[in-house]
Amino acid sequence: MNFVHLIKLLPNLLSGDKIEKLEASLILGIDIMTVVDPVCKMKLDEKDVRFKSEYKEKMYYFCALSDKKKFDENPEKYIEP
Ligand SMILES: [Zn+2]
């Protein structure tokens, strides 16, 4: 592994766009799965997510408890058709 390349990729792991993040995760061998909070549309790393809801056998992820509550109250409003 190229150390300089690794250093260059590290910021992408934290805040890069999806493609760069994917590249970084592949090179570093880290499995990063990006999920989208259906309430506020924020991108989240699956491993960092603390708030989840299962609805119709699908898992949804939230950045905050308040978003999870909104979703739980009215899931249909936030689900993409
Ligand atoms: Zn959110």
pLDDT digits (tens, 9 = 90+) for 21-42: 667 666 777 666 789 999 999 9
pLDDT level of residue 75 (50, 70, 90 thresholds): very high
Q: Encoding tokens for residue 12?
A: 């992408």
Cα of 68 from ligand 1 centre, angstroms: 8
Cα of 58 from ligand 1 centre, angstroms: 17
Q: Are residues 52 and 19 in the same domain?
A: no
Residue numbers of the domain that contains 52: 35-81
Q: Residue with structure tokens 């999870």?
A: 68
Q: Are residues 54 and 80 in the same domain?
A: yes
Q: Are residues 22 and 45 in the same domain?
A: no
What tens digit of pLDDT does each residue of 38-47 get?
A: 999 999 988 8
Domain count, the chain: 2
Give CA–CA dist 76/18, Å, rounded.
Answer: 27
Cα of 42 from ligand 1 centre, angstroms: 6
Quote the pLDDT of residue 32: 67
pLDDT level of residue 78 (50, 70, 90 thresholds): very high
Cα of 41 from ligand 1 centre, angstroms: 7
The protein residues having their C-beta less than 5 angstroms from ligand 1 (an ion) are 37, 40, 42, 63, 67
Q: Residue with structure tokens 């493609």?
A: 19
Q: Give the residue with greater pLDDT, 23 vs 62.
A: 62
Query: pLDDT at residue 1 above 60?
Result: no
